[in-house]
Amino acid sequence: MKTNLFTIGLGGVIGNEEDGPFIGKERLLTLEETLRMAEVSLRKNSKEGKTGCGWMRLPYEDIGPIGSVAEKIVGFDSIVQVGIGGSALGNLMLNDAFLHPYHNELSRKERKVPRFYMADNPDPKGLSAIWDCIDPERTAFIVVSKSGSTAETITLFLWFFEALSERLGPEKALSRFVFITDPEKGILRVLAEKGALASLPVPADVGGRFSVLSAVGLLSAMGLGLPVSELLEGARLMDDHIKKARGIWENPAWLLAALHFLHFVQGRHMTVTMPYSDGLERFAEWHAQLWGESLGKGGKGSTPIRALGAIDQHSQVQLYVDGPDDKLFTLIDVKKKEPELHIPSVEMEEMSPVFYLGGHTFSDLLTVEAQSTAAALMKAGKPVIWMEIPCLDGIRLGALIFLYEMVTALTGHLLQVDPFDQPGVEQGKRYTYGLMGRAGFGSDAAEASEGFGKVLGIALSV
């Protein structure tokens, strides 16, 4: 029986080219063969283990080893994951979708699984706050760094390790840590072999922003009882749908990649992802990294913008509707939102102006608000992609993740950029290494100091 994953409405972007923001069907068809060859190349590279392409295999990998480690951490009172970027955003996306919004505040009996904290920014306020909330002796720490040398992650690890060592001693402290890192080399790999609770590999051909369906995202998810099997099933279903599609009109990945590329060519250099569901707020944030870091190269790429409906109707939609025509919009609605809560009907005469709301559900209201925003954008001549998900479950989120990973990779091919490298990020890392005194990066420190000196060349003190 075929699973209805979701519906994608493209009437707001496909039409006659003379109708303002629309992309004509003829132009889409001109990209069909290019997209076909791009997908063939991606699948070939994935099978051969080419750098960056391993994410396509993740839905089919054996997760038994991850499950074995998850069994070791599920008995702890808290889990702290230490990572940044792709080592954090995917986890937060999964938690946001499936955990109680105030999970950590529930009693152990109510939540049944550990509390979860993400240490992803070396800000001392947030770092010390996590320490204030946990019982260190009853906490497992997951440290994620493929290279083992990411400055932010390593400094956070060092702080937690020292603080825990003062309580338990270094040997016992190390037994509270799980390392997810390069399978063969690096600082964390060495530590993992000296008495850590466990270790898992980051696949060599999977980049951080594409790693959510690996141990990087799945270990904490399994420890927290999230629907990991369904996530992977959804990813496989989407992959299967893409592989079996007969041409661009049946292939959502090709269509979305082509539309983003053609709108970029038309001068729409920003893409707005706006879910009308609190459970997808972090999906928009995860997508922003995936999109921005993969495609922003060589003067190309569209800037990802995160928004949340209905909140950002009151902060951003004025700009979206009445501002410049430089954005492509994707609105995402979840039809069945849980729990089903009804807006009360009232009989007080003073409340008569809002009688019309009574009897509807809050889910109805959010859906209507999403539809209204789409209609307002269309009236203003702005391009809108509409996505409608029956419900937010593991299968749908897994399908959504795989779809947008494929869309990102294909859009990179159309833009003629490598979606799997990150030269701009690497330059910043080298400057950080140099300024913090790492051996071998003296010239980078000098260059960074000179560059920052220019920033302060004209300064205003107030």
Annotated catalytic residue: which of 152, 293, 327, 413?
293
pLDDT tens per residue across span 298-317: 999 999 999 999 999 999 99
Catalytic site includes residue 429: yes
Helix or strand or coil: residue 404?
helix
Q: Where are the alpha helices (DSSP H) in 58-183?
A: 64-73, 89-98, 108-111, 124-133, 151-168, 170-174
Angle between helices 151-168 and 124-133 (to 10 degrees): 40
Cβ atoms of residues 444 and 452 within 8 Å: no
Amino acid found at 225: G
pLDDT tens per residue across span 39-63: 999 999 999 999 899 999 999 999 9
| Cα–Cα distance for residue pair 264/270, rounded to 1 Å | 8
| Cα–Cα distance for residue pair 203/83, rounded to 1 Å | 16
pLDDT tens per residue across span 409-436: 999 999 999 999 988 777 777 888 877 7
> Which has more confidence, 458 or 325?
325
As a whole-number percent, the residues of the chain with pLDDT over 90 amount to 76
Residue 16 above 80 pLDDT? no
Q: Where are the alpha helices (DSSP H) in 206-245?
A: 215-223, 228-244
pLDDT tens per residue across span 158-210: 999 999 999 999 999 999 999 999 888 888 998 888 989 999 999 999 999 99
Average pLDDT, stretch 80-97? Answer: 96
Interstrand relation of 384-391 and 327-336 (parallel, antiparallel or unpaired): parallel
Omega prior to 304 cis, within 30 of 0: no
Residue 21 above 60 pLDDT? yes
DSSP H or E stretch at residue 435: helix 423-435
| Cα–Cα distance for residue pair 219/95, rounded to 1 Å | 12
Residue 18 above 70 pLDDT? no
Average pLDDT, stretch 136-155? Answer: 92
pLDDT tens per residue across span 313-339: 999 999 999 999 999 999 999 999 988
The answer to whether the Cα torsion of 148, 151, 154, 158 is positive or negative is positive
Catalytic site includes residue 293: yes
pLDDT of amino acid 436: 77
Residue 444 above 70 pLDDT? yes
| Cα–Cα distance for residue pair 286/120, rounded to 1 Å | 14
Catalytic site includes residue 340: no
- In total, the chain counts a number of residues equal to 462
pTM for the whole structure: 0.94
Report long-range pairs for 236-242 (Cβ below 8 Å, ≥24 apart): 236/59, 236/60, 236/398, 237/3, 237/5, 237/395, 237/398, 237/399, 238/5, 238/398, 238/399, 238/400, 238/402, 238/403, 238/406, 239/56, 239/59, 239/402, 239/406, 241/5, 242/39, 242/403, 242/406
Number of separate helices (H) and strands (E) present in the chain = 18, 10
pLDDT of amino acid 427: 78
pLDDT of amino acid 262: 94
Annotated catalytic residue: which of 125, 314, 379, 454?
314
Residue 1 above 60 pLDDT? no
Q: What is the DSSP string of 266-307?
A: TT--EEEEEEESGGGHHHHHHHHHHHHHHH--TT---EEEE-
Q: Which two tokens stand for residue 436?
A: 């913090």
Q: Which residues pair with 178 in a beta bridge?
A: 142, 198
Q: What is the DSSP string of 353-392?
A: GGGGGTT-BHHHHHHHHHHHHHHHHHHTT--EEEEEEEE-
Residue 446 above 90 pLDDT? no
Mean pLDDT over each residue of the chain, to the nearest integer? 92
pLDDT of amino acid 183: 87
Residue 318's Cβ-count burial label (10 Å; 0-12, 13-18, 19+) is: exposed
| Cα–Cα distance for residue pair 360/338, rounded to 1 Å | 14
Residue 17 above 60 pLDDT? no
pLDDT of amino acid 284: 98
pLDDT tens per residue across span 210-227: 999 999 999 999 999 999
Q: What is the DSSP string of 293-356?
A: HHH--TT---EEEE--TTGGGGTTHHHHHHS-S-EEEEEEEEEE-SS--BPPP---GGGGGGGG
| Cα–Cα distance for residue pair 410/269, rounded to 1 Å | 17
> Which has more confidence, 32 or 423?
32
| Phi, psi dihedral angles at 98 (to 5 degrees) | -120, -20
Residue 74 above 70 pLDDT? yes
